[in-house]
Amino acid sequence: TNCLTTVWRLFKNLSEDQQRYEKQLIFEHPAFVKLCQQLLRDSRRMTRGDLVFSLHAVVNLGVPQNTLLVQTLVRVCQEKLNQLDNRCISVLATTLGGLDKDKNVSALQAGLQLLVEQRIPSIRDIFILQNLMKCMGKDAPVFLKKKLEMAVLKEIDHLTFPNALRVFLALAAMNYCSIPILNACSKKIQENVHDAPFRQLILILEACYNLQYRNVKLFSALADYVNSTACLWDKRQIMLFLSAFKTLGFQPTELMGIFVEKVTEDPEFLNLKNLLIVLRVYSRLNYVPRDQKHLFFETLHSCLNKYLPQISNTELLKAVYSLCILGYLPHRALDELLQKDSRDELLLSDDLYKEQKEMMLRCVKACMELDSPSFVKPAFVLTENFSSLVSLNLRKAREALIELLGDENMFRQNVELPYKYRIDFEIRMDSDRKKVLPIAATDDHADSSVQRLAFLFVPLSAFCVGTTHPQGKLAMKKRHLNKLGYHVILVLNKKFQEMTNEDAVEFLKGKIYSENAFPSSEVTVQDN
């Protein structure tokens, strides 16, 4: 056992290329064959610790699972399962995580799960608990996950920073969102973020996404740390951070500004893969630099033009779509995209993303018209009611508007506009913003004195986490509705539904008659 575990410790610290070479030498060495034969003969006489650590070493050195040696060790572990102490249980759980399911492995896993359930109340070591959480995995029954959670919570006051990282990632491996544990781990991580390696920080953000855990303080602490040490990170690492934040819908404003500077200083960094990642991040999070807007867009546009001869039609569509969301029209790339062959190839494909591609093309065409410098706000916008039915989550708003305005003829609902845009409610007011006008009286003619309000009841996910800053698609819709002559009022639907009926009426009254509902200037791409 000592020989095998020493070989494993040396082996695991080698690079992948060295491991391949050393593994061949180890397996061909006559002493290794003798060692395996001796292990096979003595397996039933070994102590529990030697047995478990030998199996762990053999599996991790790459001895095939279907060999007599591995299968025998697995069966002997099953026979001696009740003799194992907590440390051996932890090591065995880790080992089984690296094995494929077969008859013997499945039987041992089932027995181990029962034993873990019995032993949990006696385990006080958080390191062992988190390892069991990780190894039991997402397929563990809910009651077992709950028992592990309660055991960790009993020891949560003794949580160290390394264990906080491990427990956080173990919860993700178990696909179990325990808010009390995550909050405690987050606090410890925030206090010691400067000690966390790059890979661990990325894994934390990925775990937050998988667990649907949104902690603005944690995200801000990680972003501030990377921001304050940006000179120590290369551009690829910062880009990976930004990409992880993008999946969470969190906008690390300062870090995104620093990365803009790095990209404009060294655009050669932007190969095609990196360019597409950067475009997705900045368009999704709706970030446009204040000081270097033109330079940043020109840098991205120039890089995109460079890859036009080799880029696929789908990637070209995604790149153009991202730039259009940000309000920038890449003319050469647009010409390439809208050529008949490219467009036909995109729309005739039978892949799973056909509808998504059609939506992206529709948005690109809308941007070409509405974001063009030559576009003039129309005096009259042709609209129609999409449906007279109001969805359940808008009934409260409809009833509040009727109570506030006195009549359902004073507003329209489910309104469909050109470019396939829809608004939940439309209200029209006089030029002094004092009086709401009946829809019928202003429906069939253009009148520049009529003010049009568009109410959009949107989910929390449409904003960047912890802010009222709209993400890219919502920001684009808001910009385009402004171009069509609407004053857009965004309402967070979840908070609105939590209001009492009286509060809902007062809230809508404030939005309709407030001068803030009518900004004097055009809403910018990044407007809050």
Cα–Cα–Cα angle for 40, 61, 8, nearest 5°? Answer: 100
pLDDT tens digits for range 215-237: 999 999 999 999 999 888 999 99
DSSP 333-378: HHHHHTSHHHHHHHHH--STTHHHHHHHHHHHHHHHHHTSTT----
| DSSP state at residue 51 | H
Q: Cβ atoms within 10 A of the Cβ of 51, count?
A: 25
Q: Are 443 and 411 in contact (CB under 8 A)?
A: no
> 34 Cβ partners below 8 Å, 6+ apart?
none
Confidence band of 260 (pLDDT split at 50, 70, 90): very high
Q: What is the dihedral of CA 146, 149, 153, 156, to 10 degrees?
A: 180
Nearest to 346 by CA among 327, 318, 367, 324: 318
With a cut of 80, say whether residue 433 has pLDDT above it. no
List the helix and strand counts (H, then E) for the chain: 25, 6
Q: Is a pLDDT exceeding 80 seen at residue 441? A: no
Contacts of 117-123 with CB under 8 Å at 24 or more apart are: 117/144, 117/147, 119/86, 119/89, 120/147, 120/148, 120/151, 121/151, 122/86, 123/86, 123/151
Contact 112, 93 (CB under 8 A): yes
The pLDDT value recorded for residue 469 is 94
Beta bridge pairs of residue 411: 427
Could you identify the residue written with the tokens 């039609």? 313
* Token pair listed for 436: 């709401």
Q: Which amino acid is at 333?
A: A
Contacts of 470 (CB under 8 A, 6+ apart): 286, 462, 463, 464, 478, 490
Q: 169-180, pLDDT tens digit by residue? A: 999 999 999 999
Report pLDDT for 409: 87
- Token pair 């790059």 is found at 198
Token code pair at residue 184: 């405690």
Give the pLDDT confidence of 333-370 residue by residue, as tens digits. Answer: 999 888 866 666 776 666 667 888 889 999 999 999 99
SS3 144: helix
The model's pTM: 0.85
What mean pLDDT comes out for the span 447-456? 84
Distance CA 226, CA 239 (A): 11
